[in-house]
Amino acid sequence: MQSFNDFMQFVFSGLTNGSVYALIALGFCVVHNTMGIVNFTQVDFVSFGGMLLYTSLFAVGLPMPAAFLGAIFGAALAGMLVERVGIRPSKTDNHLVLIFLTIGLSIILRGIMKILWGKNRMAVPPLTADKPVHILGATVLPQIIWILLLTLIAVAVLAWFFRCTSMGLCMRGVASNPTAAALVGLNVNRIKAVSFAIAGGLGGLAGVLITPITTLSYDVGVLLGLKGFAAAILGGFGSFPGVVLGGLTLGLLESFSAAYFSSAYKDVTAFGILLLVLFIKPQGFLGKGRH
């Protein structure tokens, strides 16, 4: 029985990280769908969300729900700002240059966060009290339940947004054909701004959810974000269900390899498996066979 309980424990820990990877991966996808680029500032939205939560709780003194929503909203605003100030003035539509541009912007964001919040690691409190509950033999922190629940809600809201709102439908239009979308009068600039806001919000949500578990620092988002990127690729960039699947798979693989193989090399296993999948099935689990 003990080994089954351990197994469930690893499942929960894998799903927790996997949900966070999935949220970040969705952020990568939304921007990729509307602009065709990988937006590396996504990794910093994660740290930024955590930082905003920390500041609004301790410096401003807001109650948890307000601080939580404020942090997500702030990260969404940051996303919009990045698009408006950083990406739009560029004169080029060369994807290579635009991707390097987001790398530059990401370096700047990290630099700003380092100056504003310093290099020290900080502790962020969880959403609700720290009393663990027992589910299927595993000991689960309330924060983990929050992560799973809020990820589910975020995915549902995103699905509703892209299917049922006019903005969401416009964004899908731009994703499938930007020129045609501009031709029928869709405001492509506004759509790009909104896609960055969504990406920022998703990154911020991932940040406020995971930093109570990982502790917070200005570069906490880098490794998390790159794993989110890996999840996006595993799931086949562009397909939302695929990306969520990719995130959860990566989280579970990582958790099991840390548990049964070696925790020191868990990043090696995670990225090793990613490379393997890329070699065998480059379009990812549910990607369209474009290659």
Residues that bind another protein (CB under 8 A): 32, 37-38, 86, 89-92, 94-97, 99-101, 103-112, 114-115, 222-223, 226, 229-230, 233, 237, 264-265, 267-268, 271-272, 274-275, 278-279, 282, 291
As measured in angstroms, the least distance from the Cβ of 202 to another protein is 18
Give DSSP secondary structure letters for 117-156. Answer: H-SS-B----SS----EEETTEEE-HHHHHHHHHHHHHHH
As measured in angstroms, the least distance from the Cβ of 82 to another protein is 11
**87 DSSP assignment:** I
- Rounded distance between C-alpha atoms, residue 127 and residue 235, angstroms: 29
Nearer Cβ to another protein (86/247): 86
Nearer Cβ to another protein (168/235): 235
| Ordered alpha helix ranges (H), the chain | 2-35, 42-58, 64-81, 95-117, 142-164, 166-176, 178-183, 188-214, 220-234, 240-260, 266-280
Nearer Cβ to another protein (173/246): 246
As measured in angstroms, the least distance from the Cβ of 291 to another protein is 6
As measured in angstroms, the least distance from the Cβ of 148 to another protein is 26
As measured in angstroms, the least distance from the Cβ of 108 to another protein is 3
Nearer Cβ to another protein (106/143): 106
Nearer Cβ to another protein (96/164): 96
As measured in angstroms, the least distance from the Cβ of 83 to another protein is 13
Contact 261, 254 (CB under 8 A): no
Q: Looking up tokens 């939560």, which residue turns up?
A: 53
SS3 104: helix
- Rounded distance between C-alpha atoms, residue 229 and residue 243, angstroms: 10
Nearer Cβ to another protein (92/166): 92
